[in-house]
Amino acid sequence: MGKFAKIPVLALLLLLLLILGCQMKPQQLRPALVHEGEVYVYLEPLPQEAQRLSFTLNGVYCVRADGALMPLKLRTARFDAVLADRQRLVAQGVLPAGQYKGLAFSVKDAHLRTEEGISSSLLVPARPVSAGLPFAVKEKDGLVISMTLRYGRAVKAGFSFSPAFDLKVPDKPVDALLGYVVNSGSNDITVFNKSAMEVTGVIATGAGPMGMVLDPKVKRGYVALSREDAIDVIDMTEGAVVGRIRLNAGDDPSQVALTPDGGTLFSVNTGSNTISVIDPVSFVERSRIKVGVQPVYMLLDPSGKRAYVFNYFSNTASIIDLTSTGVVATVATDTAPIRGAFNRAGDRLYIINESSPYLTVFDPSGLSIIKRQFAGQGMRAIKVDTRTDLVYIGKMNTPFLEVYDPFTFIPVDYIKAGADPAYMTIDNDENDLCVVDPVLESLIFINLASKKTVSMIDVGVGPCWVTLMGER
């Protein structure tokens, strides 16, 4: 009957939703790239002189070297000063590898608002209009193209509109500004500049990428491939996959973790109820640790001496000694533990459970539960700000983050955060909370001082994880 034979159907469905980033929109899983590459096209914010302009695209195409138009999938079709006040993802798609000579744009309509506020229609081209930029689509590789509207060439005499865009491939930011969003549905990683809050690249991965961890010392990233029983190794400087760590068939890795010295990599194998202990230099698995049923998340304590593995179906946390790489204790949790976070001192571990309205406050030294705090159903994201010890909790289908005081555990604030927060981290440099939203397919930046959304970036399909340089 296989590894899921004894698991209730409903519970299995819940697990699958978790592994796919708890997305609320149905989607067909895309196979990993073989002889294709992928292209993402972003529009930079409209210039000041375009404040009264609006237009709608019918299609975006990559122009092959022989002149053939290869359609991309539109992600955003309508643009005006409000909708394009930040960088927007216009289109994306998988294309045959080969040489291309630019993009082409088909326009549905365009309007220009007069100073009196009256909107008048502009004439638009009957056929797609091309913009030149020679580029190559490489096998198993991703490419971002950025476009900027040139208003003076786009709007002519106030009665016609043509899609006059300048195209370029964005420059890679310095390593200290790099951030990564893992997209499980489109099998790729969105690379962004965390200071400019703009996408600068995309890395194609194997099938079903999930959790990711960075090693800044050697400028490498590791991402679990849940549908390929493997871990892709990312070169942060090159922005590309440079190796693969093979696991056992049926491991279904959902997350990776790294010791502070970068000497040991761990893979959370949801399918085989194990943790792989891996040498990140040789890519060799040193040993395996048996844990509870369906481990989904691994958290290292601030000292780097122990790790806590949350076992979804056995309702337990396995505590691992990182020196001996063995389980030293197993403690009971509420139903379906999925995430955890330590406070600044490391003497409190907060655990959220998908099927329980209670947040567990755990004492790591005494291996005991301090309290069970009612926080409501649907918790699936948690982050502790180690500057303030405030606890941020995101819930399914809830557009607000709840902020808890760590002493009274009374909610002290509610912060608007998109539509469905799924995973969070904090950028220490900018003091921004970065929230992954799989419904909006975006990463949201919330300044922790003002408690306001300062920007968003559009990412791939099924975003489920974010990690960045300088996070806390």
- State residue 14's pLDDT score: 41
- For residue 5, with 0-12 CB atoms within 10 Å meaning exposed, 13-18 middle and 19 or more buried, which class applies? exposed
Domain boundaries, the chain: 36-163
Q: Cβ neighbours of residue 321 under 8 Å, at least 6 residues apart?
A: 305, 306, 327, 328
**Dihedral angle over CA of 268, 269, 275, 278, nearest 10:** -80
- State residue 402's pLDDT score: 96
Fold classification of 36-163 is Immunoglobulin-like (2.60.40)
- State residue 157's pLDDT score: 85
pTM over 0.75: yes
- State residue 4's pLDDT score: 38
Q: Hunting for tokens 């790294």 — which residue is that?
A: 258
CA atoms of 64 and 68, how far apart (whole Å): 5
pLDDT per residue as tens, the chain (472 positions)? 333 334 444 344 444 444 444 433 445 688 999 999 999 999 999 999 999 999 999 999 999 999 999 999 999 999 998 888 999 999 999 999 999 999 999 999 999 998 888 889 999 999 999 999 999 999 999 999 999 999 999 999 889 999 999 999 999 999 999 999 999 999 999 999 999 999 999 999 999 999 999 999 999 999 999 999 999 999 999 999 999 999 999 999 999 999 999 999 999 999 999 999 999 999 999 999 999 999 999 999 999 999 999 999 999 999 999 999 999 999 999 999 999 999 999 999 999 999 999 999 999 999 999 999 999 999 999 999 999 999 999 999 899 999 999 998 899 999 999 889 999 999 999 999 999 999 999 999 999 999 999 999 999 999 999 999 999 9
CA atoms of 333 and 317, how far apart (whole Å): 7
CA atoms of 239 and 203, how far apart (whole Å): 6
- State residue 7's pLDDT score: 43
Cβ-contact 447, 467 below 8 angstroms: no
